[in-house]
Structure 1
Amino acid sequence: MKYFAGLDVSLEETAICVVDESGRIVKEGRAANEPRALYEALRKIDLPLERIGLEACSLTAWLYDGIRAEGLPAICIETRQANAAMKTMPNKTDRNDARALAQIMRTGWYRQVHVKSQQCRLWRSLLVARRTVLNEMRTIENVVRAILREAGIKLGTPGRAAFAPRVRELIGADTVIMALVEPLLAIVATMLREFGRLTKQVFNIARKEQVCRRLMSVPGVGPITALAFRATVDQPDRFRRSRDVGAHLGLTPARYQSGETDIQGKVSRC
C-alpha cells in the first residue's frame, strides 16, 4: 500500500493529511511550523510515504530543505495549479487544504516547482533589500521636491550625492521650510550610506562568482544584472532548452485562443 501526505503551511502551524492509494484519509494532524517538528510528526505516523506535497510560499523553501535533509520525499508544487484543485472544496480551511494537497500527491496532478539553493535565495534577498532602499530613498527625495515646489523652489536634477547640499543652498535662511526638510535629508543621508554598503556587497559577490564574471563580459551587463540573472536561473540544467528561460521569466507573449478568436498579448512579466 502506498501513502501520500499533504502539508498546508501557515505562519505558526502546518496541517498534515495522509491518504492511501485509494484516496482514503488515514491520518490527520497538526505540527509546529518547523522542519524538525514536521519531521517528527511525519515519523510518528509510521507509514511509508511515497510523496509529501507542499504548496509554494515564502516558508516553503526553508521547510523543504529541512524535510529533504531528513530523507523524506518532499515535493514543492506550483501554487496556481494547487489553488485550482483546492477550489473544489466547499469550505476553505487549513484542514481541507491539506486534504486537497494529499489527493493531488496521490493523483499526480501537479507541477513540481524548482526550489532554489539557499545561496541563490540569499542573493535574491540582497538584491531585493538594495532595491527596497533605493525605492524608499527616491520616495523621500520626491517628498522633498514637493515641499520645495510649494514654496516656489525648483530643485532641478542634481546628482544623488549633491542632492542635500543643493536643497540647503536653495532654501537658504528659510527656517520654516528647513525645519520640514532637514529630517528628511538626514534620513536620505543614512539610506544613501546603507545603500552604498548593499551595493558594495553585490559588487563583491559578482566579482568572485565565475558565472557573473562571464556574464559581465557581455556589453551592457553589469554586476547587478549579472547577479540577478545568476540567482534567478540557479541551475541551468533544469531547463531543457535555452529558449525556455525566456518563458520562465515571462518574456514570451501571452495568447488567448478560443474558436475563431486568437489574440496575441503582451509579455506576462517585465
Structure 2
Amino acid sequence: MDVHRDFAQVAVVEDGRLSDAGQIACRPEGLRAWATTLRPDDEVALEATGNTEAIVALIAPRVARVVVSNPMKTRAIAEAKVKTDKVDARILAQLLAADFLPPVWLPDEHTRQLRRIVARRAHLVRQRTRLKNQVQAITARNLLPRPPVSDLFGTRGRLWLQRQELPADERRSVGALLRQLDFHGEELAEVDRELATEGLSDPAVRRLMTVPGIDVAVAVSIRAAVGDFTRFASADKLVAYFGLNPSVHQPAAHGRITKSGRAQVRGMLVEAAWVASRVPGPLRAFHQRIKARRGVQVAIVATARKMTVLCWHLIIKEQDYAFARPSLVAFKQRKLELQAGAPRAVARRGKGYDYNNRELRRHEREIIEQQERAYATLVAHWQPHGPGRSTTAARRLRRPRRSQG
C-alpha cells in the first residue's frame, strides 16, 4: 500500500505475479470493507506516515502480518527515478515478497497515547516561547529598559510592564499576548498533571528521575519514545535511535551526530545534560573533561549521549542511579505527587521535607563531590589497551622481565 492522505494505491504479488489492485479510500469504512477481502495468510506492507497507525489498527486483525517500513531505509523507493503511486506500491509489494523490507517497531496503544501527550506538551512550550518573544520584541522596539526582575512574566514583572509608557496599540497587543500566555500556561499545567500521574504509576519513569537533570517531562518523553527498552540489544542501539551517535564518513573518521530518530526527546536530553553539567557528580566531571578537549557544545552532546547509555542500563538492570542524592530524589517524588493532585501536608513534614535541611544537603553534596573526584581520578589514570590486544597480553607486556642468570 502506497498511503496518502485520502487514498492508498494497492499492488499485489500472488504466485510470483505482480499486479495493480487500484485505489482504496483512507477512511474507516473503506479500509474495513477492503480488509474483509483479505485472507488470514496475507501480508500487507506500507510506509510509515501520519495515518499509518490508524490503518494498521484496522487491517492487522484480518491478516497474518502487517509490515510498516521506514521510508528513509526503503532506498529502492527513495532513489527511484520514476516515482508514481503505482511504482511505489509495486516496489513495496516486491520487497515484501522477497522479505527485503526493513520494518519499524509498532508501539502499543498506551505508548502511542504517551507520545501524543508529549507532543502536545512540546507544542504548548513552543507557543509560550513564541508569545514571550513577541512581548520582548515590543519592549525592545519601544526603547524600554531591561526589567529589574528576572521574570518579566511573573507578578512583579507584569506590574513593572504596566507602569511603562507604550503606544495604545502596543499596550493592547501586550495585553492580548499575556492573555494567550495565561491560557497556554493553564493548558500546560493540565498536561503536566497528566505526565505526573503517568510518572507515579510507571516504575521506569521514577527510576529515570533519579538521574540529575531528568525531571518527569524528560523521563516520560524517554519512556514514550522508547516504549520497550528490551527491544534494544545494547545501549549503543538506543543512542543511535535518538540520533546521538556520530556519523562515519570513512574508516576512522567521525563527523557530527546523525540526528536521526526521535528529535524531540534528543532535544530534551540535551537540556537535561545542561542541568547535569552544573550539579556535582560524575556526569559533571565527564562534561568538564570533554569540554577541556573539545569545547562546550561537543561536551554537552557527549553528556546527553552518556545519559542515554545510563538510562538504558538503569532500566535493563532495574537499578536506581548509584550517585543520586536521597533527599533530592525524595523531593522530586513529592513534587511529582503534588503535581498529580495529591493533597498538601499542611503543618506536617512530608517525604520531601528533608531537602529543606541545609546541613543534610551540604552533607550529601560533600559525598557526591567526593565521588566526582574519585571518578575524575579514575579517568585521569585510565590506560586504554591497544586495538586487538587482550587484557592478559597487555599485563604481560607491562610486567618487568626477570633478569637471566
Shared fold by TM > 0.5?
A: yes
Flag the structure with more relative contact order, 1 or 2, with Cα contacts below 8 A and sequence separation at least 6. Answer: 1
Corresponding residue for residue 110 of structure 2: 119
Aligned-partner Cα distance in 2 for 1:133–1:245:
27
* TM-score of the aligned structures, taking structure 1 as reference length: 0.85
Question: What are the equivalent positions in structure 2 for 1:102-117 lying under 5 Å apart?
Answer: 102-117=93-108
User: Aligned residue for 1:181?
Assistant: 174
Contact 1:15 1:31 (C-alpha < 8 Å) held by counterparts? yes
Deviation, 1:229, is 1.0
Matched, 1:266 2:259: no
Q: 2:37 aligns with which of 32, 36, 44?
A: 44
Cα distance change on mapping 1:39 and 1:99 into 2, 3 Å: farther
* Partner deviation per Cα, 1:64-115 (whole Å, 9 max, x = no partner): 1222223441111111122x21256553222221111101111222211001
Q: How many residues align?
A: 257
Please identify which structure carries the higher strand content: 1
Structure 1 CA distance for aligned equivalents of residues 169 and 20 of structure 2: 68
2: CA distance, partners of 1:131 / 1:87: 30
Change (3 A) 1:164 1:200: farther
RMSD: 2.4
State the identity as a percent.
Answer: 21
Q: Which residue of the partner structure matches residue 158 of structure 2?
A: 164
Q: Equivalent residue of 2:144, what SS?
A: coil
2:91 to 78, 100, 105: 100
Distance 1:117 1:129 in 2: 19
Aligned to 1:192: 185
Aligned to 1:9: 3
Query: 1:244 — aligned with what?
Result: 237
1:81 maps to amino acid: K
SS in 1 for 2:244: coil
Offset of residue 134 of structure 1 = 1.4
Mapped contact 1:164–1:185 kept (Cα < 8 A): no
CA contact (8 A) 2:48 2:70 kept: yes
Report the more deviating stretch, 108-117 or 27-36. 27-36
Paired residue for 2:24, among 31, 36, 40? 31
> Which of residues 40, 43, 46 in structure 2 aligns to 1:54?
46
Shift of 1:253: 0.6
Residue 18 (structure 1) aligned with residue 12 (structure 2): yes
**Worse overlay, 203-212 or 7-16:** 203-212
- Paired with 1:192 and 1:47, the residues of 2 have a C-alpha distance of 49
When the two structures are superposed, what TM-score results if normalisation uses the length of structure 2? 0.58
For residues 224 and 38 of structure 2, the distance between their equivalents in structure 1, rounded to whole angstroms, comes to: 37
Q: Counterpart of 1:98 in structure 2: which amino acid?
A: A
Contact 2:8 2:24 in 1 (8 A): yes
Question: Using the alignment, how far apart are the partners of 1:243 and 1:41 within structure 2?
Answer: 41
Return closer, same or farther for 1:152/1:104 CA change in 2, 3 Å cut-off. Answer: same
Could you tell me how far 1:217 is from its partner in structure 2? 2.5
Q: How far 1:56 sits from its partner (Å)? A: 0.9
8 A contact 1:216–1:226 mirrored in 2: yes
- Give the letter for the 2:67 counterpart: I
Partners of 2:244 and 2:130 lie apart in 1 by 29
Alpha carbons 1:78, 1:113 under 8 Å: kept: yes
1:160-198 deviation line (CA, Å, top 9, x unaligned): 433433322334x75453133221121112112212211
More helix by share: 2
Unaligned runs of 5+ in 1: 1-6
| Cα distance change on mapping 1:167 and 1:229 into 2, 3 Å | same
Query: Does 2:132 match 1:141?
Result: yes
Alignment-mate amino acid for residue 74 of structure 1: V
1:86 aligns with 77
Q: Which residue type is aligned with residue 162 of structure 2?
A: R
List, as ranges, runs of 4+ consecutive aligned residues in structure 1 with deviation greater than 6 Å: none
Q: Distance in 2 between matches of 1:128 and 1:42?
A: 31
In structure 2, distance between residues paired with 1:35 and 1:250: 35
| Structure 1 counterpart of 2:383 | none
Q: C-alpha displacement at 1:241, in angstroms?
A: 2.1
Report the secondary structure of 1:54's partner residue: strand
Which is further off, 220-229 or 154-163?
A: 154-163
What SS does the corresponding residue of 1:228 show, helix, strand or coil? helix
Alignment partners' CA distance in 1, 2:177 and 2:31: 47
Specify the SS of the correspondent of 1:44.
coil
Amino acid at match of 2:163: E
1:11 is paired with a residue whose SS is coil
Give the counterpart letter for 2:125 in structure 1. Answer: L
